[in-house]
Structure 1
């Protein structure tokens, strides 16, 4: 892992109450890196069993259950952010800069990453590190 990845994963404790907030902060770096503005936050309506990502006042999807390891939780939050942004803006996010295709969350060598299917499958960047 490089230095930034070490800092992301060292500070990330999956059983801490703030684990979802930490994961959202990591994913939000990618949102801002791609020029998307608007408030992102976590909401837990109802019985508190599920959490959703709210973007610009709306949310979408099946919700997040805060369990699993670091990669599972970060992947769940990244997918929730992606799903919510795309549903509310009607635009694909994030997009591979090389192939102009939508990226998908995956895991590679212990990191949660954004992957592209252009020219076979390649990793565009670890989640939180999109250029």
Structure 2
């Protein structure tokens, strides 16, 4: 049986993992998103870590137990999805070369922004260059 202390440790550890993943996504947002977006990791009323975008969100099916690069890709995908729901007229980020939306993916154990239009990596998540997107 799992003790409350073990559960609390698990929750705090997962919250730290989410925060680290969000640091990379925030870095891309700060360089490339016009306007402000509040993206935060919180613990919900069920003692489960989750991501909020502008105060809205859910646990979103993010696998908190997987490898770090997968967590970064899933968090980026979740934040992107929330932004698209909140800002229907914008897609973030989009490939400048192909004018198509980018998608988070894992390539060679690295979380990246992937262009399906040209089947190429545009950037690692956390290192998105504003000159590469529209």
2:122 match: 124
Question: What does 1:30-45 align with in structure 2 at a 5 Å threshold?
Answer: 30-36=28-34, 37-45=36-44
CA distance in 2, matches of 1:32, 1:124: 17
Q: Between Structure 1 and Structure 2, whose CA radius of gyration is higher?
A: 2
1:28–1:128 Cα contact (<8 Å) kept: yes
Give the CA deviation at 1:17: 4.7
TM-score (norm 1): 0.77
Q: 1:60–1:84: 8 Å Cα contact kept in structure 2?
A: no
Among 72, 76, 79, the alignment partner of 2:77 is 79
Runs of 5+ consecutive residues of structure 1 not aligned to the other structure: 1-14
CA distance in 2, matches of 1:25, 1:56: 16
Relative to the length of structure 2, the TM-score reads 0.75
